[in-house]
Structure 1
Amino acid sequence: MPEVIFNGPAGRLEGRFHHAKARGAPIAIVLHPHPQFGGTMNNQIVYNLYYAFAERGFSVLRFNFRGVGRSQGAFDHGSGELSDAAAALDWAQTISPEARACWIAGFSFGSWIGMQLLMRRPEIEGFISIAPPATLYDFSFLAPCPSSGLFVHGDKDRVAPMKEVTGLIEKLKTQKGIAIEHAVIPGANHFFENCVDPLIAEVGTYLDRRLNNPTRTATPTRTERLPPPMSKDD
């Protein structure tokens, strides 16, 4: 996947971008876990989400938040990272001005940032939120949630206990006009250790249903080395 560098609010941001060949292909932005606990764009879940979208015809961007890898700046406790995500979407839209739709996906800290971006950008029509840390961050801004999407959670998650996440999702399900789905991966902890494959399969099934079972598109061979699992401290 091509390496890219684009301008963010605190300096240059490092990313990987797959540009779909189809005219008007949708855009997806994938956000990584907490920068101070080993989260990067090469997290194995972020990596696999990236390809899940690419294989379904999306132009996809994953990138390092400020202060991670070759991205400039320093960790900003969420506020700056939200600005980074907005800049990433702006850049992707500049590269793909005819994109017919936008999606946002995030894992853990990245899901919190992604859902905030969803509230600010009406063009985002779908989301994938994996292991949202509802006990660590305030998700009350999702009132109402403007787009339909999928939450995925492990039933052994101790970082974001299932009870708290389920409470958040049940509140969102009461809203009219959107469809919130919730998938639980049996045996999975917050990091989906030994459960990444069923997680990505669940996401793929959801995307196929939302996209009316698109034909898989040929993508470049995954030449990047699959990164090791992230730190358990996230």
Structure 2
Amino acid sequence: MPEIIFNGPAGRLEGRYQPGKTDTSPVALILHPHPQYGGTMDNKVTYYLYHAFAHRGFATLRINFRGVGRSQGEYDAGIGELSDAASALDWLQSMNPNATGSWIAGFSFGAWIGMQLLMRRPEIKGFISVAPPANQYDFSFLAPCPSSGLIVQADADDLVTPISIHKLVEKLKMQKGITIHHDIIKNANHFFETELNAMMASVNAYLNMRLSGE
């Protein structure tokens, strides 16, 4: 997985990039958890999500948000990080002009950023949001949510309240034209430390289902 550096809105952004299997492979962007609480692109959930897409032949990119690792800039409370994600998707698409679609996946803070990007980029046709922090951030911008996707919840999450995710899921499921899958991983804490395999079983099953139908 080659290390890459490309220009972002606040300076250089650092990433890891796996080229697609073919010229027309879809692309996937993976976003990490909160930068101020140790979140980086090498977070285990982020790393596993990256490999789930790369293994399926996607052109796959994960990045460090501004101020993390070798990425320049400073934490910007989500505003600048959304710009970072948009620049990363631009770079990914420029490297893969014949890609047959784009996906976004994010964990925690990265899920919040990813779903905001989803609203701005109509070419994104699938998303995976792991432990979206619906009690900490406003998700009301998903009106309506433009793409089908998977929301994975930790049963014993100590940071995100279960009711907040349930409310988000119920709101999204009321929308027509998309399908929201919602999986709850038993005994998992926010970081899925003992339940990474179960979390990835959910992600892999969802990807297999979606990709077999395309």
Normalised by the size of structure 2, how large is the TM-score?
A: 0.98
| Amino acid aligned to 1:144 | P
Is residue 204 of structure 2 the alignment partner of residue 195 of structure 1? no
Normalised by the size of structure 1, how large is the TM-score?
A: 0.90
Q: Deviations over 1:70-127 (max 9, x none)?
A: 0000000000000000000000001001001000000000000000000000000000
* Distance in 2 between residues matched to 1:63 and 1:174, nearest whole Å: 33
Q: Deviations over 1:166-194 (max 9, x none)?
A: 01100110110000010000001111111
CA RMSD of aligned residues (A): 1.0
* Distance in 1 between residues matched to 2:21 and 2:209, nearest whole Å: 22
Q: Deviations over 1:190-227 (max 9, x none)?
A: 1111111110111000000000089xxxxxxxxxxxxx
> Which residue number corresponds to residue 37 of structure 2?
37
> Which residue number corresponds to residue 109 of structure 1?
109
* Distance in 2 between residues matched to 1:118 and 1:124, nearest whole Å: 6
> Which residue number corresponds to residue 209 of structure 2?
209
> Which residue number corresponds to residue 12 of structure 1?
12
* Distance in 2 between residues matched to 1:167 and 1:92, nearest whole Å: 33
Instruction: For residue 21 of structure 1, report the CA deviation from its aligned partner.
Output: 2.7
Q: Deviations over 1:139-180 (max 9, x none)?
A: 000011000000000111121111110011001101100000
* Distance in 2 between residues matched to 1:119 and 1:85, nearest whole Å: 13
Matches within 5 A, 1:1-234: 1-212=1-212
Query: Could you list the runs of 4 or more consecutive aligned residues of structure 1 that deviate by over 4 angstroms after TM superposition?
Result: none
* Distance in 1 between residues matched to 2:158 and 2:173, nearest whole Å: 24
| Amino acid aligned to 2:15 | G
Structure with a larger share of its residues in helix: 2
* Distance in 1 between residues matched to 2:151 and 2:61, nearest whole Å: 20
Query: Percent of counterpart pairs with the same letter?
Result: 64
Report the 3-state secondary structure (helix = DSSP H, G, I; strand = E; otherwise coil) of the residue aligned with 1:211: helix
In the alignment, structure 1 segments of 5+ residues that lack a partner are 215-234
* Distance in 1 between residues matched to 2:60 and 2:86, nearest whole Å: 14
Aligned residue pairs: how many? 214
* Distance in 2 between residues matched to 1:183 and 1:170, nearest whole Å: 13
* Distance in 1 between residues matched to 2:134 and 2:64, nearest whole Å: 23
In the alignment, structure 2 segments of 5+ residues that lack a partner are none
Report the 3-state secondary structure (helix = DSSP H, G, I; strand = E; otherwise coil) of the residue aligned with 1:181: strand
* Distance in 2 between residues matched to 1:53 and 1:12, nearest whole Å: 24
Report the 3-state secondary structure (helix = DSSP H, G, I; strand = E; otherwise coil) of the residue aligned with 1:100: coil
| Amino acid aligned to 1:200 | M
Instruction: For residue 36 of structure 1, report the CA deviation from its aligned partner.
Output: 0.4
Report the 3-state secondary structure (helix = DSSP H, G, I; strand = E; otherwise coil) of the residue aligned with 2:17: strand
Report the 3-state secondary structure (helix = DSSP H, G, I; strand = E; otherwise coil) of the residue aligned with 1:97: coil
* Distance in 2 between residues matched to 1:16 and 1:193, nearest whole Å: 23
> Which residue number corresponds to residue 223 of structure 1?
none
